Amino acid sequence: MAARGSGGLLLCMGLLLAMPALAATPTDRGECAASADKPDVGFAACSRIIDDANVSVAERVKAFKNRGRGSFNSKDYDRAIADYGEAIKLSPKDASALTHRCEAYESKEDHVAAIADCTEAIKIDPKYGWAYNNRGVAYYGLHEYDAALADHTEAIRVDSRDVWAYARRGMAWTEKGEFDQAVADITEAVTIDPKYAFRLRRLEGIAARSPTMISRSASIRRTAWHIGIAAMPMRRCARSMMRSPTMTGRSR
């Protein structure tokens, strides 16, 4: 009797496993596409697309990438790396998947793996500015500032209004002690996008360390005025320059 019962259970399990996964719906596609902003909903939707044997390879790749983005935005970098990896297996020449995996690796401070992925993406698409920027960030993490400068410069060559490229290049200039170049790049980033949240903290930090910045405080204030930045943070910037022991006698 027990044998017959266990046999029936095994039969039921076999039938369940043999049942095809539910087909993905148009709603699933919409929710999966929005998974970056709503990973709790999008993850399940993307999974249904991935498990649907009838969807195209291209659609499955897109679902893996969308699910990966949702995981990345939830700071689940390992899961993001796994999903981007599946997308790359299906589409080895997908520069976007490689670059986003590069970004996920970099978020784990695995700079070497990040550089490898972004380098491969650049080989596939030499005009992919996002790949240059992410590789530049990885080089920065390794303290290879010249390589970081080169990559952010290439990103700017691809898109002369790439705010992030200017800001990151400014950071690399700062680490090399090239404060004038750093201020020029950060100022350009702010000019392109006055709402760029990172701008003033970097500008104040550069000013505090620069032996030449006090002579430029008036031009910085004018730049801030013209692009609509509040005067108070810039006054803090000027004060930080005045407090620097290397600034004495440099004001004009």
Count of domains for the chain: 1
**What pLDDT score was predicted for residue 243?**
39
Q: What is the pLDDT of residues 171-209, one digit of tens each?
A: 999 999 998 898 899 889 888 988 765 555 555 555 555
Higher pLDDT, residue 20 or 27: 27
Q: How far apart are CA 106 and CA 119, in angstroms?
A: 13
Greater model confidence, 127 or 249: 127
Are 11 and 17 a contacting pair, CB within 8 Å? Answer: no
Most confident of 19-28, 159-168, 214-223: 159-168
Residue 180 lies in a domain: yes
In a domain, 251, yes or no: yes
The whole-angstrom separation of Cα 117 and Cα 123 is 10
In a domain, 167, yes or no: yes
The answer to whether residue 135 scores a pLDDT higher than 90 is yes
Indicate whether 111 belongs to any domain: no
Position 44 in a domain: no
pTM of this structure: 0.72
Q: What angle do CA 85, 86, 90 make, to 5 degrees?
A: 115
pLDDT in tens, 62-114: 999 999 999 999 999 999 999 999 999 999 999 999 999 999 999 999 999 99
Looking at every residue in the chain, the average pLDDT score rounds to 77
Quick check: 118 pLDDT over 50? yes
Instruction: Classify residue 30: in a domain, yes or no.
Output: no
Q: b/e map of 37-74 (b: 16 or more CB within 10 Å)? A: eebeebbebbbbbbebeebeeebbbbbbbbbbbbbbee
Domain membership of residue 227 (yes or no) is yes
Which residue in the block uniquely carries the two structure tokens 């290049």?
169
Please check whether residue 27 lies inside any domain of the structure.
Answer: no
**With bands split at pLDDT 50, 70 and 90, how would you rate the model's confidence at 52?**
confident
Domain interval for residue 224: 162-252
